[in-house]
Amino acid sequence: MLNLSENTIKYFIDTSTLSSFGKLKKLDQYTYEHLLRTALFLLLLVIVSMFLPWTQNVRSNGELIALNPEQRPQTIQSVIAGRIERWYVQEGQRVNKGDTILRISEVKDDYFDPDLMSNTQTQIDAKEYSRTSYIEKAQSLSEQINALEAGRKLKTEQAKNKVQQNILKVQSDSIDLAAARLASDIALEQYKRFETLHAEGLRSLTDLENRRLKWQEAGAKLISQENKFLAAKNELINSRIELNSIEADYLDKISKARSERMSALASQYDSDAAIGKLKSQFNNYSVRRSLYFVLAPQDGFVTQARKTGIGELIKEGDELVSVMPVNYNMAIQMWVKPIDLPLFEKGQEVMVQFDGWPAIIFSGWPGISYGTYRGKVLAMDNFISDNHMYRVLLTPVADEHPWPEQLRVGAGVKAITMLKDVRVWYEIWRQINGFPPDYYKTKSTGQATIKNSKK
């Protein structure tokens, strides 16, 4: 009944005479006692469970990766721009190192010439011949310079000898001139004495004329000797001029030869530079032609073609295909919050669960978990990532059950890091207050030391 009316009929019915009302009263009493016992049992069970041991843990997510960088999936890029001409592989196919994946053709007009390599080699050969000619010319000019140096030395010695001869001749003529001047003076004195004696009548006119003749002859010899002396001096000056002329002439010839030699050497060096540049171009052309064939960098499987079809144009650095290496060492890359990073240390063991592998996990009781595996901390980043979390690398534990062989790179992973063993009531109290979990560190002796840490 809904008992919506204020009028009631309970005072008009005698419930003691009705058995159904009695049974209802007994049922309510039984239910109350049963519920009370159940509540007390559950309360006791909860109180007892509060004192059970609980392993604190930190949960984190991650994925499987290859431990070594060269073993991780890599994308092959195009080094040069080109046009796809032919594919030699398909997705999922295994390739070995050096296998051809695809072939591209040239799209730049600078490399369209089919005889580009031979033409470049012809230019190199021509420059080599030109360089050889300049080298021979420089050697010839060096020999010519040496010959001129030797000729200058001989000519200079000859001219110096001639100068020395003229110096001696000038000295000799100067002595003869002095003797002739002395003889002329003596002849003049004798003539004067004979003239005096003739005036006194002591000498004849003939003797006087003879003395005059000798005096005139001595004067003529003096004049002749002066001419010879002046001529010797002129010869000396001419020989010195000739010596300087020889020096200047040979210096001009040697300087001209040296200038031509330096020009030849400069042309040789220009040829060397041009040859080096052409050889560099030739090597670049050779390497570029080898890049027409995109090769597999290592053994692996072709996982995905980023460029498809025939005739598609590609640019430098465009991704062509991704390759997964055949052999790789498995590791886990998991992300932890900054507040949990101090709880990790190298060598610490972590429970992991792989996506696709069924597991029953009791994070507080790792001993009864099923389908989980163990890993140990290999390294931790010292800087935060773009997702505002820190990266921690895990590797398999050698003595534990090995990780499944069917695992593949990129699969998701859930990790549970085991920390200190506490009571259940303490863990609930910590979670309610938002305190960080406790953790322990291992001493070098292998004994566990428990440390309480709060941030």
The predicted pLDDT at position 155 comes to 87
CB burial class (10 A; 0-12, 13-18, 19+) of residue 95?
A: buried
Where does residue 154 rank: exposed (0-12), middle (13-18), buried (19+ CB within 10 A)?
exposed
Q: Give dist(CA 223, CA 217) in Å, integer.
A: 10
Q: In sequence order, what DSSP letters do the residues of 19-41 get, joined into one string?
A: HHHHHHHHHHHHHHHHHHHHHHH
Q: What share of the chain is helix, strand, coil (3-state, %, to 5)?
A: 50, 20, 25
pLDDT, residue 116, reads 87
Architecture of domain 54-70+328-451 in this structure:
Beta Barrel (2.40)
CATH of 116-290, one of 3.30.70.2170, 1.10.10.2520, 1.10.287.620, 3.40.50.970: 1.10.287.620
Q: Among 153, 129, 145, which residue's Cα sits nearest to residue 262?
A: 145
Token pair belonging to 130: 């030109």
- Residue 454, pLDDT score: 36
Given a contact cutoff of 8 angstroms between Cβ atoms, the answer to whether 73 and 303 are in contact is yes
pLDDT at 450: 36
Domain ranges across the chain = 54-70+328-451, 74-103+292-325, 116-290
Which tokens go with 109? 């007009």
pLDDT of residue 445: 36
For the chain, 455 residues long, give each residue's pLDDT as a single digit of tens.
455 666 666 666 666 666 766 666 655 555 667 777 888 899 998 888 888 887 777 788 899 988 888 888 889 998 899 999 999 999 889 999 999 999 999 998 888 888 888 999 999 999 999 999 999 999 999 999 999 899 888 888 888 888 888 888 888 888 887 888 888 788 888 777 777 877 777 777 777 777 778 878 877 888 888 888 888 888 888 888 888 888 889 899 899 999 999 999 999 999 999 999 999 999 999 998 889 999 999 899 998 888 888 888 999 889 999 998 888 888 999 998 888 887 788 888 888 888 877 655 555 555 545 567 888 899 988 888 888 899 999 999 887 778 887 788 888 898 887 777 778 888 788 778 777 676 555 444 333 333 333 33
Q: How far apart are CA 403 and CA 370, in angstroms?
A: 14
What is the DSSP-derived secondary structure letter of residue 79? S
**222: CB partners within 8 A, 6+ apart:** 177, 180, 181, 183, 184
Please determine whether the domains at 74-103+292-325 and 116-290 fall in the same fold group of CATH. no
Q: What is the DSSP letter of 91?
A: T
pLDDT at 321: 92
Fold of 74-103+292-325: OB fold (Dihydrolipoamide Acetyltransferase, E2P) (2.40.50)
What is the per-residue pLDDT across 317-370, written as a single tens digit (0 to 9) for each?
899 999 988 888 889 999 988 888 877 888 888 888 888 776 555 555 555 455
pLDDT score at 16 = 66
User: Residue 429: enclosing H or E segment and its boundaries?
Assistant: helix 424-433
Residue 100 pLDDT: 92
